Structure 1
Amino acid sequence: MNRRRSSINLFLLALDSLSVYRGLLEDSVLRKLRELFIGLEKADIQLRDIVNDYNDFYYEFARCPGLSLAHHILNLIIFEENSFSLNAQAIHPSMRDNTLDQAVSSDLRNLEIIAKLDSKAIKAEIIKCCKLHATGNDPADILDSDLQSILQSLPDWGFSSALFANREPEHVQALKETFLTSPRWEDCLEELKQFHRQFGCGIFARSIAFIWERSEGQGYLKCVEQPDPITLHELVDYHDERSKVLENTMQFLKGYPANNVLLYGDRGTGKSSTVKAILNEYHPLGLRMIEIPKAFLADFPQILRILNNRSQKFILFVDDLVFGDNEENYTSLKAVLEGGLESKTSNILIYATSNRRHLVKEYFSERAGVQSANRDEEVHAGDSMQEKLSLADRFGINVVFSSPDQKQYLKIVDGIASHRRLTIDQTTLHKEALQWALWYNGRSARTARQFIDWIEGHLAIN
């Protein structure tokens, strides 16, 4: 009987032999699959238990896009953070490239064994084991027809490539194709290393945009599944202002010294859109972006530790930055900008937007306090005032985005309309655009885009 269960033993041994990729055993799908195999190895197989184990596995597996065990396991391999993947993508590797190669090659061999399983193969093993248990003789003996019918009706699965179309980044698809077309997965070790060198590992290989969030007092990075698709090509005018930010970003990506950037000015002028468009333009060069809400700026040290020694370049994006008179979060930002004992590394820049040149609110009473004889006033009130005013100066580059005049506003309207391929008389377009600006938020790049959104829909339904 043990000889006839050698296939189940092989599958279990393949999973139990994982070393570098041992963390994959915590995956819900592989964990349930392993529990199914363990159940089939028992001397006293209970049919109800086996059916439950199979359906527990299928319940987890059915959540996987495409219902492909091979694709699911490859996702685990590609995005796993372990000693191998972290070392491969590190700026300063802690080990020689070949230190873990033998162990990783062995893991890839074992994972390939599991990846080649399909529902027919697993159900065949279940039926064979149940026959052996029922008769104790040859597995060709026939089970009770009702029991065999139940086992045969356990759910199947079949891979659907259509479900993967346009759902994965090209670099992930390319690496998967390398594995799936290779005679042996272990032969893809170098391609896997190169993937991690170029795209990183864990969530940084999975996505390009992240938001720092907090839950139950703990901060964590959340992937942005669908980042704002705005492109530089869609942004009209403000070329001089934008060129300063682009030049600084290219210096950063090429490994040259670069500055933190503050984009400030009137609302709706395209400050935030510029930063988001930079990510969409340069993420193929290894750029990643993390948006940090102002309320969580005190978490900067934790974020810096997460990003330390990673090969990707990170822009920490703080939108609509302004501090109230009693807020102390600005000291965390100031410390990072200036550099403390735990300063940011060369793979990190801070890009912030604000509608204010002076990021910390200042009051006339503070200016009066400089000359005040009031015993309750601060003795060195001037120092505090200068500290508040100096925060913006700690950014290496300040770029001003001012509201457009009428001519510039209409130029932006024309540019967006041309990009959208709208067929409308220019005189009518300009007349409607100026009317829209009067009715709503005044002249700005945002107002121009909102107007075009309206008129495009208006033209479509009339």
Structure 2
Amino acid sequence: MYRLTSKLVIYKNIDKDSILFRLSNICQQFAAGDYEKADLITDIYVEINRMLDISTRYGFDKNLWHNYLAFVLAMTENPFTLVSEKVGASVGTVNKFARSDFCIFKQLFDYDFSEMEKELDIDCFTIITNYEAVVKSEQIFNKGVSEKVQQLSRAIEQAKDETELYQIITDFYKTYGVGKFGLNKAFRISNDDKSGILCPITATSDVILEDLVGYESQKKELVQNTEAFVEGRRANNVLLYGDAGTGKSASIKGILNQYYSHGLRMIEVYKHEFKELPKVIEAIKNRNYRFIIYMDDLSFEEFEIEYKYLKAVMEGGLESKPENVLIYATSNRRHLVRETWSDRSDMSEDELHRSDTMQEKLSLAERFGVTIAYFKPMRKEYFNIVINLARRHPEIKLTDEELRAEASKWEMRHGGMSGRTAQQFIDSLLGSVDLS
């Protein structure tokens, strides 16, 4: 194995502390006979443990060695993979090195560990290449990454020759991308030095726009702006504002799920992290994806100044916002920054031209080219939401009239009429023992 990994060119930048290179060094020691049996077995088990850890985090099954190698190919960012992400298979001298590297990976796929197992009296490689994973909840691992990597693994297993192997891997890069941005939907700012400025959110909501009952005009406007963005046309930053529990956040989550396959990615940022926005934009501006920076429940009190960072990023800084980045925010406040009556008058004991302060605050909201209002439903609309949600669950046997009566009681005790209240009512029914 060491003989193979030492010949890698394009993929030479793989972490030398990776399972691949550490196993390669173990195989070199074994081939040279330069080892203590107990120590070598311990080293092998350490790497097997690491592979099991990755397999658990990503829900891998069957041949864990193949899945791991496919994972390495899918996650390694280098000039070749980043170009392939944009254009797929292409001509150029670099392809000779790429084809050679892919042939090496194919040989690694087919690597025979049986001699090592026999000599050391172990069977761990046989086990991981015929693995039956424990069935896990999708919330435990990143299902999207798992499915893509295992799909790549199976395709490489079945590749007939070098040309087919090259096409399979470059097509994968063109279709799904490479690295964490290619395989994941959503990200948050990271405090982990190994992850860079952004780390993946591994378990995202699977809500779709159709799950949100009502608000058709609002969803249509949001879809139109997002479609323009993912298609490379001009689009605006979006502010969804209005009453709590009306589906603002659900709409944005639905947008992510609807357009992920079109290259849309989302980065969740909280206001205490706004000073990191320039670093975030620097990390994503040249990637072949469309990024929405998502700010949920955005608002500022008078004493909070973080909004100044956001204003500079949206418009006004020396470096313009990249064309592959938009900002979507939700808020209960139309103007985002808390206003007082004194803001509306130049008569103030502590500040001249107080109305200038109000204009500064309003200028943040004005940087959102699209503003979409979400307000609490009227009683008829609220009952329509309840009935639509209930009919998605055949186990709820109540008639429409019974649902209206019970939903009316529920909303009076739980904060009034909203989509959130309606969903909570349905959840209560589904959680009850007797649904008759």
Structure 1 counterpart SS, 2:420: helix
Structure 2 counterpart SS, 1:424: coil
Measure the CA separation in 2 of the matches of 1:29 and 1:15: 12
Which ranges in structure 1 are unaligned for 5 or more consecutive residues?
1-10, 128-150
- 1:228 equivalent in alignment to 2:205: yes
Q: 1:44 to 1:261 in 2, by over 3 A?
A: closer
Amino acid at match of 1:449: Q
Quick check: 1:108–1:186 contact (8 Å CA) kept in 2? Answer: no
Q: 1:118 to 1:157 in 2, by over 3 A?
A: farther
- Residue in 1 aligned with 2:19? 29
Amino acid at match of 1:33: L
Amino acid at match of 1:436: W
- Structure 1, 44-53 or 195-204: larger mean CA deviation: 44-53
- Residue in 2 aligned with 1:135? none
- Residue in 2 aligned with 1:438? 412
Q: 1:451 to 1:118 in 2, by over 3 A?
A: farther
- Structure 1, 239-248 or 183-192: larger mean CA deviation: 183-192
Measure the CA separation in 2 of the matches of 1:439 and 1:176: 53
- Residue in 2 aligned with 1:80? 76
Structure 2 counterpart SS, 1:262: strand
- 1:89 equivalent in alignment to 2:58: no
- 1:39 equivalent in alignment to 2:29: yes
Instruction: Give the RMSD, CA atoms, in angstroms.
Output: 2.7
Amino acid at match of 1:286: G
Measure the CA separation in 1 of the matches of 2:69 and 2:33: 30
Measure the CA separation in 1 of the matches of 2:122 and 2:131: 24
Please give the residue correspondences for 1:418-457 in structure 2 after superposition, counting only pairs within 5 Å.
418-421=391-394, 422-457=396-431
Deviations 1:34-71 (A, max 9, x none): 22123224465433333333333333333333352122
Please give the residue correspondences for 1:58-457 in structure 2 after superposition, counting only pairs within 5 Å.
58-63=48-53, 64=55, 65-66=60-61, 68-90=64-86, 97-124=91-118, 127=119, 151-155=120-124, 156-160=126-130, 163=133, 167-168=143-144, 170-184=147-161, 187-214=164-191, 220-368=197-345, 370-372=346-348, 374=349, 377-421=350-394, 422-457=396-431
- Structure 1, 275-284 or 167-176: larger mean CA deviation: 167-176
Q: 1:48 aligns with which of 38, 51, 69?
A: 38
**TM-score by structure 1 length?**
0.84
Deviations 1:105-129 (A, max 9, x none): 11111222222124424324xx2xx
Deviations 1:391-444 (A, max 9, x none): 111100010111111111111111111222332111111000010000011100
Q: 1:383 to 1:226 in 2, by over 3 A?
A: same
Amino acid at match of 1:29: I
Quick check: 1:109–1:186 contact (8 Å CA) kept in 2? Answer: no
Q: 1:215 to 1:75 in 2, by over 3 A?
A: closer
Measure the CA separation in 1 of the matches of 2:97 and 2:129: 30
Q: 1:164 to 1:83 in 2, by over 3 A?
A: farther
Q: 1:459 to 1:48 in 2, by over 3 A?
A: closer
Quick check: 2:67–2:149 contact (8 Å CA) kept in 1? Answer: no
Quick check: 1:301–1:342 contact (8 Å CA) kept in 2? Answer: no
Measure the CA separation in 1 of the matches of 2:48 and 2:196: 33
Structure 2 counterpart SS, 1:268: coil
Quick check: 2:207–2:250 contact (8 Å CA) kept in 1? Answer: yes
Quick check: 1:118–1:157 contact (8 Å CA) kept in 2? Answer: no
Amino acid at match of 1:349: L
- Structure 1, 106-115 or 288-297: larger mean CA deviation: 106-115
Q: 1:36 to 1:161 in 2, by over 3 A?
A: closer
Amino acid at match of 1:238: Y
Following TM superposition, by how much is the alpha carbon of 1:333 offset from its aligned partner in structure 2, in angstroms?
Answer: 1.2
Q: 1:15 to 1:159 in 2, by over 3 A?
A: same
Following TM superposition, by how much is the alpha carbon of 1:168 offset from its aligned partner in structure 2, in angstroms?
Answer: 4.7
Measure the CA separation in 1 of the matches of 2:101 and 2:389: 52
**TM-score by structure 2 length?**
0.88
Measure the CA separation in 2 of the matches of 1:23 and 1:174: 24
Deviations 1:218-238 (A, max 9, x none): 972221222111111211011
Deviations 1:353-409 (A, max 9, x none): 0000111112233334x124x4xx333432222110221111000101111111111
Following TM superposition, by how much is the alpha carbon of 1:261 offset from its aligned partner in structure 2, in angstroms?
Answer: 0.5
- Residue in 2 aligned with 1:146? none
Quick check: 2:30–2:116 contact (8 Å CA) kept in 1? Answer: no
- Structure 1, 202-211 or 396-405: larger mean CA deviation: 202-211
Which ranges in structure 2 are unaligned for 5 or more consecutive residues?
none
Structure 2 counterpart SS, 1:403: coil
